[in-house]
Chain A
Amino acid sequence: MALVTATRRLVHVTLRESSRRAAVISAASLPTQSRATCLQRGFTTSTQPLRSDNKVTVHFINRDGEKITVKGSPGDSLLDVVIDQDLDFDGFGACEGTLACSTCHLIFEEEVYKQLGPVTDEEMDMLDLAYGLTDTSRLGCQICLTKSLEGMVARVPESVSDIRQSGDGSS
């Protein structure tokens, strides 16, 4: 009897593990480089007291228009949050936060956008290649969470198969 229970538990555990891995396949596998960006900019958690309410709520609107609410820590980038929370956005964060792609493109409301801090030339250069670029677009791997961004909304824009449709050829 015990053996059957143990076996059932083993099956359950391995199935859960495999479905988690399947979800991770759609996001980048190593969040460390994106977290490094925020640490470099001085967004650290080391001076924060260890309280359970030291989290920032972020709402993502996915490509189907659904709202997904998650929590991240100050100092996490939005790419880190997507990965840590296993959010299933197709192809998000392909270069793992190293400013070598534009797949973590997110769109913000005007008010939130203004609070997000300066955009470096490096980020702008890659953002310029994103489909559906707007005046309130940013790359998620460069946005670092702070308490003041509590409740922010980030929309995942549509992607398209040929970037040349937006008028910018690249090869």
Chain B
Amino acid sequence: MLLMTCKPDRATLKYRFCQWSVCGRAPFSSCSPKVCIVGAGPAGFYTAQHLIKSRQDVEVDIYERLPVPFGLVRFGVAPDHPEVKNVINTFTQTAQHSRCSFYGNVNVGTDVSVKELQQAYHAVVLSYGAEGNRRMGVPGEDLAGVHAAKDFVGWYNGLPDNRKLHPDLSCETAVILGQGNVALDVARILLSPMDMLKKTDITQPALDLLAESRIRRVLIVGRRGPMQIACTIKEVREMVNLPDTRPEMVAADFKGIAEAVKEVPRPRKRLTELLLKTALDVPTEKEQEKRSKASRVWGFRFFRSPVEVLPAPDLSRAAAIRLAVNRLEGSGEGASAVPTGEVEDVPCGLVISSIGYKSLPIDPLLPFDSRKAIVPNTMGRVQKTAGVYCSGWLKTGPTGVIGTTMNNSFDTARALLEDMDSGALDVSSAKPGSQGVTPLLEKRGVKPVEFSDWEKIDNEEIKRGVAMGKPREKLLSVDEMLHVART
């Protein structure tokens, strides 16, 4: 029996003759390989993109917990870095491809199990990233005034789970633990002039709170030295150039650095030279004028590890952080911080711990390495679990920019395709794909959000943004998102 399945091509509104199925089976279980991806962030989209491009018969369904796609591109990238969000354009193209479908508002693990996905699809790719964060593991960490950077960033970027954060910005000094790009984003958002922030897609509640902020000094603290700093030069340059601010570093932290920097590769060299210049050089006249007029201060502090957050006298909130003083053993990227026994107390009212995101297990039947907080895998193939793959931060740990995740995801897609070609992944028998999942969801009262529904949310956010002079005004709760999606 010759079957012709036709689907309207959303972009051109023409009908495309998609495939001639000779299986003799009912239309819903055609022979094309069906892959499902868990997580609609960069990892999910780049994996989908590569699969769809490489084989003309693969169909990909992307499941996402939230009603809205794009993961950390939407909720992690800083509001003042809109260019980084350009990748949304290529993800949108992928989502609109006839062989790709987006199912938002579906929580894999609670609404549908990984096992049920494995039954419905030939392959499952876990790309759900890192929803948790590494704890400092020190007394006082749960006092009011202490936040994980992930939550602070989620708050100013409109992540529904963080909308009630209400950080207290009434103190003078904020201390950030960690010196990666996330720490620098937090520092920059805390110190940026309002007239810069108000033109971005930062949420209005965050903007309102920051407008009242009394924070005038931000210290960005790392365990090791200037040559081990984890952030990249672009972000440091942004701090140096931030209007109405001046840098304040400790000259002693840079002892021996000017000599050591001569031997290192160019990227590390340029970054360290910028730090040296900012910390030690006599400023130009123009720079000196800027510094003397600046109302806000920022600085890196090196060789310090948190040991305790000290409470205010009434024990209600954080009032200072106790830092252990370290010395460095070894040099270069592998140098380690060794406590000297000395400690130092820094009065502050806001403590942001930016020491890493952390992936969480979503299904007890899947292997999970709790030490590294990743799904154990070889080249993206989940260990001891045929037909299950992983990409993005869940695969390699929570570091890397979008470009890193892109390559990582392409690698997983290649492994999956290799397995299809070699027969290691059996795609010969038909699988129902989403037709095997949507009835389960319906029975459980879960109504997925399709990509065209997201487009309604997108349009509404852009429309509200126009009124505020911003690129968009994000909807802040899942309920609101679903309401707009369903209208």
A contacts, CB < 8 Å to B? 10-11, 14-15, 17-18, 21-26, 28-30, 33, 90-91, 94-96, 98-103, 121-122, 124-126, 128-129, 133, 159-164, 167-171
Which residue of the partner chain B has the closest CB to A164?
A: B399
Which residue of the partner chain A has the closest CB to B87?
A: A94
Which residue of the partner chain B has the closest CB to A168?
A: B267
Q: Is the CB of B232 within 8 A of A170?
A: yes
Q: In the complex, how many angstroms separate the beta carbon of A130 from the nearest chain B beta carbon?
A: 9
Q: Is the CB of A90 within 8 A of B270?
A: no
Q: Is the CB of B270 within 8 A of A103?
A: no
Q: In the complex, how many angstroms separate the beta carbon of B271 from the nearest chain A beta carbon?
A: 8
Contacts of A101 in B (CB 8 A): 84, 401-403
Q: Is the CB of A11 within 8 A of B52?
A: no
Q: Is the CB of B9 within 8 A of A133?
A: no
Q: Is the CB of A100 within 8 A of B12?
A: no
Q: Is the CB of B266 within 8 A of A128?
A: yes
B50 in the interface (beta carbon within 8 A) = yes
Q: Which of B52, B97, B398, B408 contacts A171 (CB 8 A)?
A: B398
Q: Which of B89, B267, B407 contacts A128 (CB 8 A)?
A: B267
Which residue of the partner chain A has the closest CB to B379?
A: A161
Complex CA–CA separation, A122 to B93 (angstroms) = 29
Q: Is the CB of A125 within 8 A of B232?
A: yes
With A91-B406, A128-B266, A171-B230 known, 10 other A-B pairs at CB within 8 A are A25-B49, A25-B90, A29-B93, A124-B270, A125-B233, A128-B267, A133-B267, A160-B407, A163-B403, A168-B268
Contacts of B17 in A (CB 8 A): 11, 14
Which residue of the partner chain B has the closest CB to A129?
A: B232
7 CB-based A-B contacts, threshold 8 Å:
A21-B11, A25-B94, A28-B90, A91-B410, A125-B232, A170-B231, A170-B232
How many chain B residues touch A (Cβ–Cβ < 8 Å)?
Answer: 51
Q: Which 5 A-B pairs have the closest CB atoms?
A: A98-B83, A128-B267, A100-B83, A171-B399, A161-B408
Contacts of A129 in B (CB 8 A): 232, 267, 401, 403
Complex CA–CA separation, A160 to B407 (angstroms) = 6
B426 in the interface (beta carbon within 8 A) = no
Complex CA–CA separation, A122 to B382 (angstroms) = 39
Q: A18-B16, A102-B403 are in contact. Are A28 and B94 (CB under 8 A)?
A: no
Q: A125-B237, A170-B181 are in contact. Are A94 and B398 (CB under 8 A)?
A: no
Contacts of B53 in A (CB 8 A): 22-23, 25-26
Complex CA–CA separation, A33 to B83 (angstroms) = 10
Complex CA–CA separation, A143 to B105 (angstroms) = 43
A29, A168, A170: residue with the most chain B Cβ atoms closer than 10 Å: A170
Contacts of A159 in B (CB 8 A): 403, 407, 410
* Binary per-residue interface labels of chain B (228-241) against chain A in the complex, 1 for a CB within 8 Å, 0 otherwise: 00111110010000
Contacts of B86 in A (CB 8 A): 28, 30, 33, 94-96, 98, 100
Q: A90-B50, A126-B234 are in contact. Are A169 and B399 (CB under 8 A)?
A: yes
Complex CA–CA separation, A134 to B198 (angstroms) = 40
B182 in the interface (beta carbon within 8 A) = yes
Contacts of B403 in A (CB 8 A): 91, 94, 101-103, 129, 159, 163
Contacts of B50 in A (CB 8 A): 90
Q: Is the CB of B93 within 8 A of A21?
A: yes
Complex CA–CA separation, A96 to B89 (angstroms) = 9
B372 in the interface (beta carbon within 8 A) = no
Contacts of B49 in A (CB 8 A): 25-26
B438 in the interface (beta carbon within 8 A) = no
Q: Is the CB of A18 within 8 A of B89?
A: no
Contacts of B181 in A (CB 8 A): 170-171
Contacts of B52 in A (CB 8 A): 22, 25
Complex CA–CA separation, A163 to B408 (angstroms) = 10
Complex CA–CA separation, A90 to B50 (angstroms) = 8
Q: Is the CB of B333 within 8 A of A167?
A: yes
* Binary per-residue interface labels of chain B (11-23) against chain A in the complex, 1 for a CB within 8 Å, 0 otherwise: 1101011000000
Q: Is the CB of B399 within 8 A of A161?
A: no
Q: A21-B11, A167-B265 are in contact. Are A30 and B89 (CB under 8 A)?
A: yes
Q: Is the CB of A169 within 8 A of B83?
A: no
Complex CA–CA separation, A21 to B94 (angstroms) = 10
* Binary per-residue interface labels of chain B (87-125) against chain A in the complex, 1 for a CB within 8 Å, 0 otherwise: 101100110011000000000000000000000000000
Q: A14-B12, A18-B16 are in contact. Are A29 and B89 (CB under 8 A)?
A: yes
Contacts of B411 in A (CB 8 A): 161
Q: Is the CB of B404 within 8 A of A162?
A: yes
Q: Is the CB of A91 within 8 A of B180?
A: no
Complex CA–CA separation, A25 to B267 (angstroms) = 31
Q: In the complex, how many angstroms separate the beta carbon of B67 from the nearest chain A beta carbon?
A: 24
Q: A18-B9, A125-B233 are in contact. Are A163 and B400 (CB under 8 A)?
A: yes
Q: Which of A18, A25, A167, A171 contacts B400 (CB 8 A)?
A: A171
* Binary per-residue interface labels of chain B (393-428) against chain A in the complex, 1 for a CB within 8 Å, 0 otherwise: 000101111111011101100000000000000000
Q: Is the CB of A170 within 8 A of B401?
A: yes
Q: A101-B402, A103-B403, A167-B265 are in contact. Are A24 and B93 (CB under 8 A)?
A: yes
Q: Is the CB of A14 within 8 A of B9?
A: yes
Contacts of A167 in B (CB 8 A): 265, 268, 333
Q: Is the CB of A162 within 8 A of B267?
A: no
Q: In the complex, how many angstroms separate the beta carbon of B264 from the nearest chain A beta carbon?
A: 9
B81 in the interface (beta carbon within 8 A) = yes
Complex CA–CA separation, A43 to B261 (angstroms) = 38
Q: In the complex, how many angstroms separate the beta carbon of A140 from the nearest chain B beta carbon?
A: 14
Q: Which of A14, A23, A29, A162 contacts B16 (CB 8 A)?
A: A14
Q: In the complex, how many angstroms separate the beta carbon of A63 from the nearest chain B beta carbon?
A: 11
Contacts of A15 in B (CB 8 A): 16
B46 in the interface (beta carbon within 8 A) = yes
Complex CA–CA separation, A155 to B487 (angstroms) = 50
Q: In the complex, how many angstroms separate the beta carbon of A5 from the nearest chain B beta carbon?
A: 16
Contacts of A100 in B (CB 8 A): 81, 83-84, 86
Complex CA–CA separation, A53 to B226 (angstroms) = 54
Contacts of A170 in B (CB 8 A): 180-181, 230-232, 399-401, 404
Complex CA–CA separation, A26 to B93 (angstroms) = 10
